[in-house]
Structure 1
Amino acid sequence: MQQLSKSLDGFGESVIRKMTRISTEDTINLAQGFPDFDPPKELLDALKETADYGPHQYEITWGSKLFRNNLAKKQSRRMGFDINPEEEIVVTCGSTEAMMVAMETVCEPGDEVIIFSPFYENYTADTILCGAKPIYVPLNPPDFCFDKDVLREAFERRPKALILCHPSNPTGKVFNREELNYMAQLSEEFDTYVITDEVYEHIVYEPNEYIYFASLPRMRQRTICCSSLSKTYSITGWRLGYVIAPKEIIDVCKKVHDFLTVGAAAPLQKAAAVGLEFDDSYYTRFREMYTQKRDLFLNGLKEIGLRYYEPQGAYYVLVDISKFGFDSDMEFCEWMIREIGVAAVPGSSFFKENVNNYVLFHFAKKEETLKEAIRRLKKLKDYEVK
């Protein structure tokens, strides 16, 4: 038999999804970031109606007209510029496909792509699958800021794109205006595209401010905005994402998307379009809900005596496990599933650097689930290395 593709030789199973797979029925899964509570009732009611009346066949490849129109209205209002639903949007099968579409649109084999470390694990895979090469730029704790000189050195290699996860998974970092303006300055100076992952745009904790990179001066023309409805409406299983970019970029995105997946699920687009019509009060309540969850969980970690980095956005927290004496964070996570009954993600899966002393928890769970998780995690006190 002929040899299979060598481009996948360095790939393994997603560590995040692995932790879900090896969790038992009794495990509280704080690894893979999905809620254990229902989406808004308006979406569920719309889904029931769609089940009866459709559509049940293909929609327009790049997204139903209703979905694109509603999305354009919502994002135009929030991003501060008009978005043309016919020319500047592609609806995808989740933000995972959106990111891959963006990468395939701008990258060719041999190109280089800047990725901040720590990073969401798909970014390296996306880069390699495109035949491109990653350039890693560290985000330095405790604030997870980048070194300006290091970032400039990366740009001096003339990369094709920068991937910007904002707010960041896994750190919860919300980049401030000064940091974003510096990225913008370099991207313009070195003619680099910026691919933004904005899935946590509505989960930003006060006093932090969310700034869309495309809204910065002269950045709209070189920014490819990727996001999804998964986190904002608690529908991670619906797999509805999108790309927003100028027409000349979207024209290419449409081609990539068409031959990757043809189109996102038509009935789900119809039902989810209801959520895109929510007024600003929904997003205020949504942020308040996650602020309460964050405070509850972080207070529990503090009571247990665990050292963590307080997230400015998203719904993850990196926790230092040095005091437990494990050489491997994967070994610790597997042990914690068996002995503590809580699943986390080994932090090493997010870092290019040799880091083995962090695990990642998410807190997108009901209050009672988080309280039970904290109760179980208190048992960790018995295993500290004296």
Structure 2
Amino acid sequence: MAASPRPVNSAIVAMQPSAIRRISTLAAQTPGCISLALGEPEFDTPEAIRAEAKAALDRGETHYAPNAGTPALREAISGYMAEQGLSFAPEEVVVTLGATEAISSTLLALLNPGDEVIIPVPAFVSYEAVTRMNHARPVRLDTSPWDFQIDEDALRAQVTPATKAIVINSPNNPTGCMLDAASLDAVARVAGEFGVYVISDDVYNRLVYDGACERFATRHPELRDRTVVIDSFSKPWAMTGWRMGWIAAAEPLVSQIAKAHQSAASSSVMFCMAPAEVALGCDPAPTVEIYRRRRDRVVDGLRAMGLPTRRPRGAFYAFPDITATGMDDEEFCERAIVEAGVGLVPGSCFGAPGHVRLSFCVSDGDLDEALRRLAAFVS
């Protein structure tokens, strides 16, 4: 009699399926529901980028790309980052299958079993999931008492001999908040003192509405040897389905991450490399203005419903507090789908119960109708 199969990865078994996808699926299965759940621009990728993809296919660029990306794209990314005050040579750039794979490859390269990763919450769900997949321990740092900024004393209290990295995301998903100078400096002092890596997820840095977005790597170049910058083509250029992102880090570090990327993904798609170069030259400012107007309508509308909402300074999410409704965030979202026909994401998915995430990257008509439905539901 054959023996039973041996157990699979215990970290994977313990993981729950994505709650964001679960809510999105429920919304999609509900007739007439307007989903504000996914962080995906409703716009088509700009024509110039799509035209270059067609040309790349006509040129026969359908074979394997170099593991770290084509030299031309890596050079273009290096130049693009230099314009933003970030100094990384083309050889210090790795093109990835979106920012999610960039996060996965970075943590795979950094973590040993038993290591700890400090994650200021609310935070994107993948940070914690990928940390656990590597048999390391995510350590949540609740930022809500400080208006979603990072308090240095609270951060220091989370550091242990096992701490390997701190993950920051500014503008933030799900809050839309940007880390201020005091927060960035607090992270820098702790990282410098304890030899901790800083993973700076900057994917929303071009979607900013109020003031400039100060980047950790720009403000603290003295920590270049332990800083990993993650960025993506998905959000500013409506390229979510292209799965194109990148990692930038100092050569000794990026060479190790490149090995993890090579094993996990081999490379990004060859015929997407040249279009990505074109994207870097496209100005997303007109789209940002559309999002800015939507942001203001959403925040004003949510506040009029009696739902306290900070005005996001970047990204395309609002994160209202729904505790006054007497429902927890899971119940609120499930009932909103069934009773109001609006799909939202529970804040507990991001480590912030009592809130919901609303994405305003949908058409103006759908957004206005969703707000009308929500107002009736809340009242």
TM, length-normalised to structure 2: 0.93
State the Cα deviation string for residues 257-296 of structure 1 (Å, max 9, x = none): 1110111111122222211123xxx244343232122112
Question: How far has the Cα of 1:91 moved from its partner?
Answer: 0.7
294-303 vs 98-107, which moves further:
294-303
For 1:80 and 1:224, the matched residues in 2 are separated by: 12
The match for 1:26 is 32
Q: Identify unmatched segments of 5+ residues in structure 2.
A: none
For 2:229 and 2:221, the matched residues in 1 are separated by: 15
For 2:11 and 2:143, the matched residues in 1 are separated by: 27
Give the partner amino acid of 1:111: D
357-366 vs 93-102, which moves further:
357-366
Alignment of 1:1-386 (within 5 A): 1=4, 2-24=6-28, 25-81=31-87, 83-85=88-90, 87-141=91-145, 143-157=147-161, 159-207=163-211, 209-215=212-218, 216-278=220-282, 282-326=283-327, 328-351=328-351, 356-382=353-379
Mapped contact 1:213–1:219 kept (Cα < 8 A): no
**Structure 2 CA distance for partners of 1:287 and 1:35, relative to 1, 3 Å:** closer
Give the partner amino acid of 2:59: Y
**Structure 2 CA distance for partners of 1:75 and 1:220, relative to 1, 3 Å:** same
For 2:161 and 2:177, the matched residues in 1 are separated by: 25
For 2:269 and 2:183, the matched residues in 1 are separated by: 37
State the Cα deviation string for residues 57-84 of structure 1 (Å, max 9, x = none): 1111111222212111111111342x21
Mapped contact 1:27–1:341 kept (Cα < 8 A): yes
State the Cα deviation string for residues 12-39 of structure 1 (Å, max 9, x = none): 1111111111113522111111122212
- Paired residues in the alignment total 372
Q: Identify unmatched segments of 5+ residues in structure 1.
A: none
Mapped contact 1:158–1:190 kept (Cα < 8 A): no
59-68 vs 141-150, which moves further:
141-150
**Structure 2 CA distance for partners of 1:142 and 1:31, relative to 1, 3 Å:** farther
**Structure 2 CA distance for partners of 1:142 and 1:289, relative to 1, 3 Å:** farther
Moved over 4 A (4+): none
State the Cα deviation string for residues 227-273 of structure 1 (Å, max 9, x = none): 11100101111110110001111111111111101111111222222
For 1:337 and 1:79, the matched residues in 2 are separated by: 44
Mapped contact 1:202–1:283 kept (Cα < 8 A): yes
For 2:249 and 2:86, the matched residues in 1 are separated by: 14
TM, length-normalised to structure 1: 0.91
SS in 1 for 2:84: helix
Mapped contact 2:323–2:354 kept (Cα < 8 A): yes
Give the partner amino acid of 2:337: I
Question: How far has the Cα of 1:42 moved from its partner?
Answer: 1.2
Give the partner amino acid of 1:50: A
Q: Percent identical across equivalent pairs? A: 33
Question: How far has the Cα of 1:319 moved from its partner?
Answer: 1.4
For 1:372 and 1:51, the matched residues in 2 are separated by: 40
Give the CA RMSD over aligned residues. Answer: 1.7
Give the partner amino acid of 2:332: F
